[in-house]
């Protein structure tokens, strides 16, 4: 908030007014302090270390890798061991029975059983191939998370850099307005200038102060967004990388080929199509017979006690069996399952074509936009240089008295506007460039 005395400026003496405005300017200029230096490479490394989605995707890759085994596909047999103990106590009083009285019996049975599906319509082979595809798809999803994270970090980094550059330009404008106000305030006290001219520069100073405050808020918001993608809290950074605009020297045809080969979304879609083809084969495998093998052994020990007399015995059994199962009819469920899998595959193939078409259109759009933005960036930088030179000339003419304060302010405002426009156009170019790199699958190499 402005000091109470400042709002009552008519009651202030000229020297007091001058000190008040200069004090406000000093507060504004010193209000924004930067923290530790941070390069783009360091920001990416920090963001990748702290990102939660990347950690989740790593665990999903680990799970898919663990599942991608022949055992998970059902190749190996199962081996089971069981042990059963039973105890009986009988009190027999039946004239028709050969044994009467109290007797007890105990039995212990141990069994070892092996079951192995030798053939189930190539289901094991197809399942193993599907598990390998699922692992690769999981790795592709992890790469997509990585690309999105890197793009978010780079955009947040360059957005903060753009806002900091704008703040630097506004600081220069504020410093110049403060200097001019101080100069004309002194001339007013000497009776050289009029109050009207002094008030004009005072108004400029106040407007520039408000613009500086608003830009400080923009820097704060951009810093907050960067902290969010880096998973850091309350940190402030002084960014060392500038808004560098790299030209694209690759032709559109080469970029399209690169997109088909390296676009992560498209590669994941191709993998999904492959997985659905495996599903069709798995459903068709139910039409073939199943051959299984079972083998095992069991031993039973018995103990019998009657009238103090104890007896024992045992039995040992082995078995080995082959089984052939072939489902002749189940109401057409197998055929329906195969047909449904084929329909899902057809839908996915259409989706793949649509994705290729949309990506191709986006690539052309971003490529053409980038060519236009490259020209805009060069034009804005030239215009910024000219407006800066004009401001220096205007300042000299103002001091010489050949132009008035209004002409000088117009030149100053034009210089500020062209500088901010140049910064924003550079950021927009980088934004489009990153989109182009993301589509072609080259953002990680960048």
Give the pLDDT score at 386.
96
Give the pLDDT score at 311.
79
| H-helix or E-strand spanning residue 224 | helix 195-230
Give the pLDDT score at 104.
74
Give the pLDDT score at 102.
66
203 vs 413: CA distance, rounded Å:
13
Pairing of strands 36-38, 78-92: unpaired
42 vs 47: CA distance, rounded Å:
8
Cβ 249 vs Cβ 436: under 8 Å: no
Give the pLDDT score at 147.
93
2 vs 209: CA distance, rounded Å:
11
Over the stretch 171-188, which tens digit does the pLDDT of each residue have? 999 998 888 888 777 766
Tens digit of pLDDT at every position of the chain (446 positions): 333 333 333 333 445 545 555 555 555 544 444 568 899 999 999 999 888 888 899 999 999 999 999 998 888 999 999 998 888 777 766 666 666 666 677 888 889 999 998 888 888 999 999 999 999 999 999 999 999 999 999 999 999 999 999 999 999 999 988 888 887 777 666 666 667 777 888 888 899 999 999 999 999 999 999 999 998 887 888 899 899 888 888 899 999 999 999 999 999 999 999 999 999 999 999 888 999 999 988 888 887 776 667 778 888 889 899 999 888 888 889 899 999 999 999 999 999 999 999 999 999 999 999 999 999 999 999 999 999 999 999 989 988 888 888 888 899 999 999 999 999 999 999 999 999 999 999 888 76
3-state secondary structure of 307: coil
Question: 443 Cβ partners below 8 Å, 6+ apart?
Answer: 147, 150, 151, 434, 437
262 vs 359: CA distance, rounded Å:
12
Give the pLDDT score at 94.
67
3-state secondary structure of 441: coil
Give the pLDDT score at 313.
80
Give the pLDDT score at 233.
81
Q: Residue 303 forms beta bridges with which residues?
A: 106, 312
218 vs 162: CA distance, rounded Å:
10
In 353-429 the beta strands, taken as DSSP E runs, fall at: none
**Where do the domains of the chain lie, and which CATH numbers do they carry?**
4-78+122-289+333-439 (1.20.1600.10)
Over the stretch 28-40, which tens digit does the pLDDT of each residue have? 544 444 568 899 9
């Amino acid at each position: 908030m402005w000091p109470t005395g400042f709002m009552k400026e008519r009651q202030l003496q000229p020297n007091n007014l001058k000190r008040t405005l200069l004090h406000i300017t000093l507060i504004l200029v010193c209000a924004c302090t930067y923290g530790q230096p941070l390069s783009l490479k360091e920001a990416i490394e920090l963001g990748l270390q702290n990102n939660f989605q990347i950690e989740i995707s790593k665990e999903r890759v680990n799970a898919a890798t663990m599942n991608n085994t022949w055992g998970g596909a059902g190749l190996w047999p199962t081996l089971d061991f069981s042990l059963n103990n039973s105890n009986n106590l009988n009190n027999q009083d039946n004239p028709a029975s050969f044994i009467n009285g109290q007797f007890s019996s105990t039995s212990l049975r141990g069994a070892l059983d092996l079951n192995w599906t030798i053939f189930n319509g190539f289901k094991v082979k197809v399942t193993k191939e599907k598990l390998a595809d699922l692992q690769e798809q999981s790795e592709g999803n992890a790469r997509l998370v990585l690309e999105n994270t890197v793009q978010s970090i780079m955009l947040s980094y360059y957005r903060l850099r753009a806002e900091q550059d704008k703040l630097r330009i506004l600081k220069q404008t504020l410093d110049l307005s403060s200097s001019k106000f101080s100069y004309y305030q002194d001339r007013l006290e000497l009776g050289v200038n009029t109050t009207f001219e002094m008030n004009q520069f005072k108004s400029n100073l106040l407007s520039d102060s408000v613009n500086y405050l608003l830009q400080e808020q923009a820097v704060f918001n951009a810093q907050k967004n960067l902290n969010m993608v880096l998973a850091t809290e309350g940190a402030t950074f002084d960014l060392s990388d500038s808004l560098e605009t790299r030209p694209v020297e690759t032709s559109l045809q080469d970029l399209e080929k690169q997109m088909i080969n390296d676009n992560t979304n498209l590669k994941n879609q191709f993998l999904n199509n492959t997985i659905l083809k495996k599903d069709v084969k798995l459903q068709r495998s139910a039409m073939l017979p199943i051959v299984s093998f079972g083998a095992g052994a069991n031993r039973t020990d018995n103990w019998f006690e009657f009238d103090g007399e104890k007896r024992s015995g045992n039995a040992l059994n082995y078995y080995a069996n082959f089984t052939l199962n072939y489902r002749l009819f189940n109401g057409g469920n197998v055929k329906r399952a195969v047909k449904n899998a084929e329909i899902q595959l057809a839908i996915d193939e259409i989706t793949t074509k649509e994705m290729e078409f949309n990506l191709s259109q986006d690539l052309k759009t971003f490529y053409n936009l980038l060519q236009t933005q490259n020209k805009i960036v060069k034009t804005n930088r030239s215009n910024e240089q000219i407006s800066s030179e004009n401001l220096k000339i205007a300042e000299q003419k103002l001091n010489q008295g050949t132009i008035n304060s209004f002409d000088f302010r117009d030149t100053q405002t034009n210089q500020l506007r062209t500088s901010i426009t140049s910064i924003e156009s550079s950021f927009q170019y980088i934004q489009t460039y990153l989109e182009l790199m993301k589509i072609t699958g080259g953002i990680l190499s960048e």
